[in-house]
Amino acid sequence: MPRPPASQPSAKSRILACASDLFYRKGINHVGINEIIETSGIARMTLYHHFKSKNDIVVAVLEARMTERRDAITHAIDAARSPRDKVMAAFGYLRQIVSTPEFRGCVFINATVELADALHPGAVLSAEQKRRMATCFEQIAREAGWPNPVEFGLQCQLLWDGAIAGAQVNYSADPVGDACKVLDALITARASGALKRGNVRTAHDSNRKKECAHAAR
Protein backbone atom coordinates (compact mmCIF):
# COMPACT_ATOMS: atom_id res chain seq x y z
CA MET A 1 0.00 0.00 0.00
CA PRO A 2 1.56 3.34 -1.00
CA ARG A 3 2.44 5.71 1.78
CA PRO A 4 0.39 8.90 1.93
CA PRO A 5 2.30 12.00 0.90
CA ALA A 6 3.87 13.97 3.72
CA SER A 7 1.77 16.93 4.71
CA GLN A 8 3.14 20.24 3.48
CA PRO A 9 3.37 23.27 5.76
CA SER A 10 0.52 25.71 5.30
CA ALA A 11 1.04 28.92 3.37
CA LYS A 12 0.83 30.89 6.61
CA SER A 13 3.46 28.70 8.26
CA ARG A 14 5.77 29.13 5.27
CA ILE A 15 5.37 32.89 5.38
CA LEU A 16 6.15 33.01 9.10
CA ALA A 17 9.13 30.67 8.84
CA CYS A 18 10.57 32.68 5.97
CA ALA A 19 9.93 36.05 7.60
CA SER A 20 11.35 34.86 10.93
CA ASP A 21 14.58 33.79 9.25
CA LEU A 22 14.90 36.96 7.17
CA PHE A 23 14.12 39.30 10.06
CA TYR A 24 16.67 37.61 12.29
CA ARG A 25 19.46 37.41 9.72
CA LYS A 26 19.02 40.77 8.00
CA GLY A 27 16.99 42.86 10.43
CA ILE A 28 13.33 43.82 10.38
CA ASN A 29 13.97 47.18 8.74
CA HIS A 30 16.01 45.61 5.95
CA VAL A 31 13.35 43.13 4.85
CA GLY A 32 10.33 44.11 2.81
CA ILE A 33 7.14 42.37 1.78
CA ASN A 34 8.49 41.71 -1.71
CA GLU A 35 11.47 39.78 -0.36
CA ILE A 36 9.25 37.69 1.90
CA ILE A 37 7.00 36.87 -1.05
CA GLU A 38 9.92 36.00 -3.32
CA THR A 39 11.78 33.91 -0.74
CA SER A 40 8.74 32.03 0.54
CA GLY A 41 7.32 31.39 -2.91
CA ILE A 42 3.90 32.52 -1.72
CA ALA A 43 1.64 34.55 -3.98
CA ARG A 44 1.10 38.17 -2.99
CA MET A 45 -2.65 37.70 -2.66
CA THR A 46 -2.10 34.70 -0.40
CA LEU A 47 0.22 36.67 1.87
CA TYR A 48 -2.25 39.54 2.18
CA HIS A 49 -5.01 37.06 2.86
CA HIS A 50 -3.19 36.05 6.05
CA PHE A 51 -1.48 39.33 6.96
CA LYS A 52 -2.71 42.85 6.28
CA SER A 53 0.71 44.46 6.67
CA LYS A 54 4.37 43.86 7.43
CA ASN A 55 3.71 44.91 11.02
CA ASP A 56 1.23 42.06 11.33
CA ILE A 57 3.93 39.65 10.16
CA VAL A 58 6.42 41.09 12.66
CA VAL A 59 3.98 40.58 15.52
CA ALA A 60 3.11 37.04 14.41
CA VAL A 61 6.80 36.14 14.14
CA LEU A 62 7.51 37.44 17.65
CA GLU A 63 4.50 35.59 19.04
CA ALA A 64 5.78 32.37 17.48
CA ARG A 65 9.25 33.01 18.91
CA MET A 66 7.75 33.59 22.36
CA THR A 67 5.95 30.27 22.22
CA GLU A 68 9.07 28.49 21.00
CA ARG A 69 11.20 30.05 23.75
CA ARG A 70 8.64 29.27 26.46
CA ASP A 71 8.31 25.63 25.42
CA ALA A 72 12.07 25.08 25.22
CA ILE A 73 12.80 26.65 28.60
CA THR A 74 9.88 24.84 30.25
CA HIS A 75 11.19 21.55 28.89
CA ALA A 76 14.69 22.27 30.22
CA ILE A 77 13.42 23.30 33.65
CA ASP A 78 11.01 20.39 34.00
CA ALA A 79 13.84 17.94 33.30
CA ALA A 80 15.81 19.26 36.29
CA ARG A 81 15.23 18.34 39.93
CA SER A 82 16.53 20.93 42.38
CA PRO A 83 15.78 24.66 42.16
CA ARG A 84 19.45 25.35 41.45
CA ASP A 85 19.46 22.80 38.64
CA LYS A 86 16.29 24.29 37.18
CA VAL A 87 17.81 27.75 36.93
CA MET A 88 21.05 26.36 35.52
CA ALA A 89 19.12 24.25 33.03
CA ALA A 90 17.51 27.38 31.62
CA PHE A 91 20.93 28.95 31.19
CA GLY A 92 22.15 25.71 29.66
CA TYR A 93 19.50 26.20 26.99
CA LEU A 94 20.79 29.74 26.51
CA ARG A 95 24.30 28.39 25.96
CA GLN A 96 22.93 26.18 23.19
CA ILE A 97 21.34 29.20 21.52
CA VAL A 98 24.44 31.40 21.54
CA SER A 99 26.63 28.50 20.37
CA THR A 100 24.82 28.09 17.05
CA PRO A 101 26.43 29.55 13.90
CA GLU A 102 23.27 31.50 13.07
CA PHE A 103 23.17 33.31 16.44
CA ARG A 104 22.60 37.04 15.93
CA GLY A 105 21.61 38.19 19.39
CA CYS A 106 18.26 38.29 21.17
CA VAL A 107 15.28 38.33 18.82
CA PHE A 108 13.30 40.49 21.21
CA ILE A 109 16.01 43.04 21.98
CA ASN A 110 16.80 43.29 18.27
CA ALA A 111 13.13 43.93 17.51
CA THR A 112 12.83 46.60 20.20
CA VAL A 113 15.89 48.45 18.90
CA GLU A 114 14.76 48.30 15.29
CA LEU A 115 11.14 49.22 15.87
CA ALA A 116 12.21 52.19 18.03
CA ASP A 117 8.70 52.71 19.36
CA ALA A 118 7.71 51.53 22.83
CA LEU A 119 4.06 51.43 21.76
CA HIS A 120 4.63 49.30 18.67
CA PRO A 121 2.89 45.92 19.18
CA GLY A 122 6.19 44.18 18.49
CA ALA A 123 7.99 46.21 21.15
CA VAL A 124 5.17 45.55 23.60
CA LEU A 125 5.48 41.82 22.94
CA SER A 126 9.25 41.96 23.42
CA ALA A 127 8.85 43.70 26.78
CA GLU A 128 6.29 41.09 27.79
CA GLN A 129 8.73 38.32 26.90
CA LYS A 130 11.32 39.81 29.25
CA ARG A 131 8.74 40.04 32.05
CA ARG A 132 7.80 36.41 31.50
CA MET A 133 11.43 35.35 31.76
CA ALA A 134 11.85 37.20 35.05
CA THR A 135 8.61 35.67 36.34
CA CYS A 136 9.83 32.21 35.39
CA PHE A 137 12.92 32.56 37.57
CA GLU A 138 10.90 34.27 40.27
CA GLN A 139 8.58 31.27 40.44
CA ILE A 140 11.50 28.87 40.89
CA ALA A 141 12.81 30.98 43.77
CA ARG A 142 9.36 31.26 45.32
CA GLU A 143 8.78 27.50 45.22
CA ALA A 144 12.23 26.94 46.72
CA GLY A 145 11.45 29.31 49.59
CA TRP A 146 14.32 31.64 48.73
CA PRO A 147 14.04 35.20 50.06
CA ASN A 148 13.10 38.09 47.74
CA PRO A 149 11.99 35.95 44.78
CA VAL A 150 10.95 38.97 42.68
CA GLU A 151 14.42 40.47 43.00
CA PHE A 152 15.98 37.12 42.12
CA GLY A 153 13.86 36.88 38.97
CA LEU A 154 14.97 40.32 37.83
CA GLN A 155 18.61 39.51 38.56
CA CYS A 156 18.39 36.35 36.49
CA GLN A 157 16.81 38.27 33.64
CA LEU A 158 19.62 40.83 33.72
CA LEU A 159 22.22 38.06 33.68
CA TRP A 160 20.37 36.41 30.79
CA ASP A 161 20.35 39.54 28.65
CA GLY A 162 23.91 40.43 29.63
CA ALA A 163 25.13 36.98 28.62
CA ILE A 164 23.37 37.29 25.26
CA ALA A 165 24.91 40.71 24.60
CA GLY A 166 28.35 39.48 25.62
CA ALA A 167 28.06 36.41 23.44
CA GLN A 168 26.97 38.50 20.47
CA VAL A 169 29.76 41.06 20.80
CA ASN A 170 32.51 38.52 21.50
CA TYR A 171 31.27 35.77 19.16
CA SER A 172 31.66 33.37 22.06
CA ALA A 173 29.50 31.38 24.45
CA ASP A 174 31.90 32.15 27.32
CA PRO A 175 29.77 35.03 28.69
CA VAL A 176 27.04 32.49 29.48
CA GLY A 177 29.52 30.56 31.59
CA ASP A 178 30.54 33.76 33.35
CA ALA A 179 26.88 34.57 34.01
CA CYS A 180 26.40 31.10 35.49
CA LYS A 181 29.23 31.71 37.96
CA VAL A 182 27.51 34.86 39.18
CA LEU A 183 24.22 33.01 39.20
CA ASP A 184 25.68 30.21 41.30
CA ALA A 185 26.79 32.74 43.91
CA LEU A 186 23.34 34.35 43.90
CA ILE A 187 21.65 31.00 44.38
CA THR A 188 24.02 30.03 47.19
CA ALA A 189 23.26 33.30 48.96
CA ARG A 190 19.50 32.84 48.50
CA ALA A 191 19.57 29.25 49.68
CA SER A 192 21.64 30.25 52.70
CA GLY A 193 19.19 33.05 53.46
CA ALA A 194 16.28 30.64 53.27
CA LEU A 195 18.07 28.26 55.65
CA LYS A 196 18.82 31.02 58.15
CA ARG A 197 15.27 32.27 57.92
CA GLY A 198 14.05 28.75 58.58
CA ASN A 199 16.32 28.43 61.62
CA VAL A 200 15.08 31.75 62.99
CA ARG A 201 11.47 30.70 62.45
CA THR A 202 12.12 27.35 64.16
CA ALA A 203 13.74 29.05 67.15
CA HIS A 204 10.90 31.58 67.32
CA ASP A 205 8.27 28.82 67.25
CA SER A 206 10.15 26.92 69.93
CA ASN A 207 10.25 29.99 72.19
CA ARG A 208 6.54 30.58 71.68
CA LYS A 209 5.78 26.99 72.68
CA LYS A 210 7.86 27.41 75.84
CA GLU A 211 6.07 30.65 76.68
CA CYS A 212 2.67 29.02 76.17
CA ALA A 213 3.65 26.06 78.31
CA HIS A 214 4.90 28.38 81.05
CA ALA A 215 1.69 30.45 80.94
CA ALA A 216 -0.43 27.32 81.25
CA ARG A 217 1.18 26.32 84.52
70: CATH: 1.10.357.10
Quote the pLDDT of residue 215: 45
Q: Quote the domain boundaries for residue 159.
A: 62-215
Q: Is the pLDDT of residue 100 over 50?
A: yes
User: In this structure, are 15 and 86 located in the same domain?
Assistant: no
Quote the pLDDT of residue 195: 59
User: In this structure, are 146 and 211 located in the same domain?
Assistant: yes
Give the residue-averaged pLDDT of 147-153. Answer: 96
Mean pLDDT over each residue of the chain, to the nearest integer: 90
User: In this structure, are 82 and 40 located in the same domain?
Assistant: no
Quote the pLDDT of residue 3: 52
User: In this structure, are 26 and 83 located in the same domain?
Assistant: no
Report d(CA 206, CA 183) in Å as an integer.
Answer: 34
Q: What percent of the chain has pLDDT over 70?
A: 85
Q: What is the 3-state secondary structure (H, E, C) of 37-62?
A: HHHHCCCHHHHHHHCCCHHHHHHHHH
Evaluate whether residue 165 is within a structural domain.
Answer: yes
